[in-house]
Amino acid sequence: MDFWLPVVFAAVMALALLVYVILDGYDLGMGLLLPFATDDEKEQMLASIGPFWDANETWLVLGIGVLLIAFPEAHGIVLTALYLPVTLMLLGLVLRGIAFDFRIKGTADHKQLWNHIFTAGSTLTALAQGWMLGAYITGLSQSGLSLLFSILVALSMPALYVMLGAAWLQAKTAAPLRHKARAWASVAWLPLGVFFLLASIATPLVSPTIAAKWFDWPHFLYLAPVPLLALAAYVMLGLDLFVKEGWRWTQFTLLALLCLLSAGGLGYSLYPDVVLGQLTLHEAAAASDSLLFVLWGTLVALPCIIGYTLFVYRLFGGELGAQHYE
């Protein structure tokens, strides 16, 4: 039990952050795409995320909460090292929340201002999250190479979120917005692939620990399906965009698969560390009695969050139609 409790909580934290990236990713992407839409299209875009976006951010709260409660020492190290990007991310989330509500309740004269603030908050959040991910992968190193890697990952996150947002719109809306979303996704497809490729090449270069795990024989043979599947998913995305359009959820499903494969590769690269090269899961974990106590609460809260998420997506599923979010 002492061995498995930290592993269970690490899995819950990883699940929460993965689901957050996929679900909140598309509504962050909506903010990034907003400047390229007409006024009527803006209303449809925000209507498409209206019932979901608050619930999507619950997964971020769960992930950070697990880090704080189950791995308090790691929480202190990570948030201290990432104080600036965490602050910027929170500022971006606050700006998004304010803008989303005030653009509905404010006068028409100020709606464009709130649209700009919503886009600014989305951009700031996406860049800050990429920065944090890049810094975390390098073990929170302060070297110049690590900083460049963090910048690379920071730039890749908006590309991913734009693709997720465009894929969401293609699944939820009708023409002409659906066709415009397809064009947006076509523009973002190549930058996303370039950033993923550069990040994949740079990761073993900035972290010898990760390089040793991936390129050691026979582990290299066992792990080969992960990048190959990711490449296949990316190529299928391109085929759906440029050759033959498939099911309306094809692009979103493939992007979710890319996120899942990336998260699985990252999890393998980091395990058993919770802070690469500094702290393992078991060193950072709270006392077993505390983890066991929190586990009972998690066993109640996690199914409730999953159930509520499934209920909302089922209730408001299907094509959006012409309604606006009020």
Sign of CA dihedral 74, 76, 82, 86: positive
Q: Is 321 left (phi over 0), alpha (psi -120 to 50) or beta?
A: left
pLDDT, one tens digit per residue, over 215-248 is 877 778 878 888 999 999 999 999 999 988 888 8
Percent of the chain with pLDDT over 70: 97
pLDDT, one tens digit per residue, over 183-216 is 999 999 999 999 888 888 888 888 888 888 888 7
| Mean pLDDT, range 162-180, rounded to an integer | 92
**Closest of 134, 196, 198 to residue 159, by C-alpha:** 196
Percent of the chain with pLDDT over 90: 44
**CATH class given for the domain over 4-315:** mainly alpha
Q: Whole-model pTM above 0.85?
A: yes
C-alpha distances in angstroms, 184 versus 28, 41, 242, 267? 15, 13, 12, 31
| pLDDT band (50, 70, 90) for residue 326 | low
**CA atoms of 50 and 27, how far apart (whole Å):** 9
Buried b (16+ CB within 10 A) or exposed e, 258-287: bbbbbbbbbeebbeebbbbebbebeebbbe
Mean of pLDDT over the chain: 88
* Segments making up each domain of the chain, as ranges: 4-315
pLDDT, one tens digit per residue, over 130-164 is 999 989 988 888 888 888 888 989 988 999 999 99
Beta-carbon contacts of 169 under 8 Å, excluding residues fewer than 6 positions away, are 30, 33, 45, 48, 177, 178, 181, 184
For residue 300, what is the DSSP state?
H
- For helices 225-242 and 177-206, give the axis angle rounded to 10 degrees: 160
